[in-house]
């Protein structure tokens, strides 16, 4: 940078600091008179005095008449009327770089263990626009996830976005851990949003393991943290994934769960006075979901293959968030409790799941084999009650007889131990051998 450029930079710097004062606190919301700021800007609220003086970060989430509405990234218990509010004039930024690989971060991009960030990182805003639709290359090749059922029957493409729909305790975290360990993607970025504190370490040590963590960046926002921190965790993780995509990498991105991001946004929306609509969700929830989910996928540099878990209340696949997310993404995998209860892991219902790009990225032979297995499984399931009560007589239908003969092999094929790893080619070969076994 030459002197002339440097002088121009100095001349354009805003040397003023803008301040306001807290006027009241209502629930999660802080109202202040000033400072001059925009929605999304970060402000610092000065609390305490002397040795106990500290700054609490907060974000501008709206305005009421002439007052600024702020929501803090931490608790509001130390904030009182008259506290000074300092404007930064810019949104939340995090530091990114290759040195983050292997780190576990909080929603603000800082090490969760309280350590210091590595050197050599640079700052980016977590608020980014989705890629231009015309700048998105089509999805043309599959990505290996190392789960036999997915690679063979629900093949995922590089840059595809998939929803994993399930109730609680059906194996979402276990499936995510398998994918993170077994995939041939260059790097994993994993967002754990609204998780129980106990589950975070369990996921990192048991499901992800040292081998998975060594090629991953994990962002954590537990359920006890303020709503804004849970929302920012999703944005921070997405921004980190975008950084590595722009470096030309194939990124595997996983978020558990997008439902808890929606619930956090509902809390914020209700606090600033938005009207509740479908099942109590505010309009802003349905505005941020497509904006967040569309940020992943392909661009001219690289790809982000994304898996978003969706918690379905009472296993209702048509509740508002599940319905909205399913309409945005490029496929959905449905995990069912009754399959898990029967000991089938991963508990994916093949007949209710779909990969919308599969037919464009596989060979005709692979497609024919997958369709045959689906047909056999569907035929058996439709006749299962008759078969179980002994009402079906062998020889009545060639299709049902064939389905009965294949069924034990199909169930064996669909099951996979969490420590087993299969390459995509091995999974497809096993599918071909199964359907042609006669």
User: Based on the domain organization, do 108 and 235 belong to the same domain?
Assistant: yes
- Looking at residue 419, its pLDDT comes to 86
In this prediction, residue 13 has a pLDDT band, given cuts at 50, 70 and 90, of low
Same domain, 228 and 307: yes
Specify if 3 maps to a domain.
no
Same domain, 167 and 227: yes
Query: How much is the average pLDDT of 197-221?
Result: 88
Question: Among residues 26, 56, 91, which one ends one of the domains?
Answer: 91
Q: Is residue 9 part of a domain?
A: no
**Domain shared by 191 and 324, yes or no:** yes
User: What's the average model confidence in pLDDT over 333-343?
Assistant: 89
Q: Provide the number of structural domains found in the chain.
A: 3
Mean residue pLDDT of the chain comes to 88
pTM greater than the 0.85 cutoff: yes
pLDDT at 15: 63
Q: Based on the domain organization, do 150 and 214 belong to the same domain?
A: yes
Q: Based on the domain organization, do 109 and 239 belong to the same domain?
A: yes
| Residue where a domain stops, chosen among 306, 326, 361 | 361
Same domain, 30 and 121: no
Residue 411 clears pLDDT 60, i.e. is over it: yes
Domain boundary among 361, 384, 400: 361
What is the rounded distance in angstroms from the CA atom of residue 149 to the CA atom of residue 333?
11
> Looking at the predicted structure, is the pLDDT value of residue 430 above 60?
yes
Q: Are residues 146 and 55 in the same domain?
A: no
8 within a domain of the structure (yes/no): no
Clarify whether residues 299 and 314 are in a common domain: yes
Q: Is residue 4 part of a domain?
A: no
Boundaries of domain holding 339 = 98-361
Percent of the chain past pLDDT 70, that is, above it, reads: 97
């Amino acid at each position: 940078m030459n002197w002339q450029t440097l002088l121009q930079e100095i001349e354009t710097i805003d040397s003023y600091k803008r301040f306001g004062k807290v006027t009241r606190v209502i629930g999660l919301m802080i109202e202040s008179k000033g400072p001059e700021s925009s929605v999304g800007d970060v402000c610092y609220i000065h609390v305490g005095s002397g040795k106990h003086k500290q700054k609490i970060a907060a974000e501008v989430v709206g305005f009421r008449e002439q007052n600024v509405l702020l929501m803090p990234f931490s608790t509001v218990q130390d904030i009182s009327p008259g506290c000074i509010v300092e404007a930064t004039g810019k949104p939340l930024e995090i530091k990114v770089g290759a040195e983050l690989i292997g780190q576990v971060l909080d929603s603000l991009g800082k090490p969760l263990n309280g350590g210091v960030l590595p050197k050599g990182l640079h700052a980016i805003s977590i608020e980014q626009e989705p890629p231009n639709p015309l700048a998105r290359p089509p999805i043309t090749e599959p990505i290996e996830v190392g789960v036999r059922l997915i690679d063979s029957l629900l093949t995922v493409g590089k840059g595809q976005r998939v929803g994993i729909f399930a109730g609680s305790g059906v194996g979402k975290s276990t499936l995510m851990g398998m994918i993170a360990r077994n995939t041939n993607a260059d790097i994993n970025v994993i967002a754990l949003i609204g998780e129980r504190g106990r589950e975070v370490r369990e996921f990192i040590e048991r499901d992800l393991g040292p081998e998975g963590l060594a090629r991953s960046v994990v962002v954590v926002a537990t359920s006890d943290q303020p709503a804004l921190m849970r929302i920012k965790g999703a944005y921070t993780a997405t921004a980190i994934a975008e950084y590595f995509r722009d470096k030309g990498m194939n990124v595997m991105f996983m978020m558990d769960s997008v439902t808890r991001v929606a619930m956090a946004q509902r809390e914020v929306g209700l606090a600033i006075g938005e009207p509740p609509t479908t099942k109590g969700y505010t309009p802003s929830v349905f505005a941020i979901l497509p904006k967040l989910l569309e940020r992943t996928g392909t661009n001219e540099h690289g790809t982000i293959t994304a898996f978003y878990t969706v918690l379905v209340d009472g296993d209702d696949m048509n509740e508002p968030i599940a319905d909205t997310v399913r309409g945005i993404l490029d496929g959905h995998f449905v995990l069912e409790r009754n399959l898990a209860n029967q000991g089938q892991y991963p508990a994916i219902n093949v007949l209710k799941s779909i990969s919308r790009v599969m037919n464009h990225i596989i060979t005709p032979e692979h497609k024919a084999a997958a369709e045959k297995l689906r047909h056999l499984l569907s035929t058996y399931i439709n006749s299962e009650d008759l078969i179980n009560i002994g009402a079906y007589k062998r020889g009545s239908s060639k299709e049902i007889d064939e389905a009965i003969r294949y069924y034990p092999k199909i169930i064996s094929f669909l099951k996979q131990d969490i420590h087993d790893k299969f390459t995509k080619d091995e999974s497809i070969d096993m599918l071909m051998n199964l359907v042609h076994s006669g």
